[in-house]
A = this chain, B = another copy of it.
């Protein structure tokens, strides 16, 4: 390590003076090593090491007009069951950004409109180079607002009402995930399968369609009991699951783990296997031995960062659909 020495911060100029060189040469050693002679370079590097010099982020940002920061909104963590998903995303985004030399600036907002406003403001203040938004829904105001403002960004979540929107996004093919869930239950012997999903959002509609498709494609034919949408809570899930059970369903595919939890309490486990499949593979599902469709959140985050940086670089936008994976689980011994 190097460090200490005097009380003053080292700067390019101070290093240059100390070595009898100019600031620019020091700068070149760091940013453009090729143009500096072998000998000076090593001399400068030693001095840098010894002085503990670090380039000033502010000065660099001012000159280059790159803050090397991406903005990410932190959502009010819901009552927690689904919350973990976005936290995983946040984490993975941070990691992916860091790998590219970028940092994440967090902020809070009360609603989608003020999220977009804050992002535009951050961009105008040159605090951030780009933004990543997530959890898009039909007629989401954010993509349009950000695009208008000329802010480079990417979205985790497609633009539901307009799949050919001009901006970049990554999304998970929830429909395919639900199809896999249905196939799983069918091959486990179930012949009457219901679907249960949250009431709102493009994603849940997509998942519902996945269920229909899968049931329609079954040979021998499988009966799809009526689909129910409801509020996204265990309680509502339990209530709706009871209805499906009365109608003869023996298994249920759910659009969320929270509702799956409720459905699980109605249907229960049989031989350690639950006739329920949840969505998002949250910690609660893991703890309860519940099968669930897992979104590759980490991959999505990596791609979201990649797309955002591509947008900064002015590259054309891209739209990516990635595949989820069904995690089949049985009840762990401890949870009896």
**A residues within 8 Å of B by Cβ?**
9, 52, 54-59, 61-62, 67, 69, 72, 74, 76-77, 79-81, 83-84, 87-88, 90-91, 94-95, 98, 103-108, 121, 124-127, 234-235, 237-239, 261-262, 265, 282-284, 286-287, 332-336
Contacts and interface: CB of A to CB of B under 8 A. Distances in A.
A81 B283 contact: yes
* Stoichiometry, copies per complex: 2
A328 to B, nearest CB: 18
Given A54-B124, A94-B108, 16 more contacts: A52-B124, A56-B62, A58-B58, A58-B67, A59-B62, A72-B106, A74-B94, A80-B84, A80-B282, A80-B286, A83-B84, A94-B106, A94-B107, A98-B108, A237-B334, A284-B287
- Most B Cβ at <10 Å: residue of A237, A265, A332, A334: A334
A201 to B, nearest CB: 21
Nearest to A86: B87
Contacts of A91: 74, 76-77, 108
A335 B260 CA distance: 11
A234 B335 contact: yes
A87 B104 CA distance: 15
Contacts of A87: 77, 83-84, 87
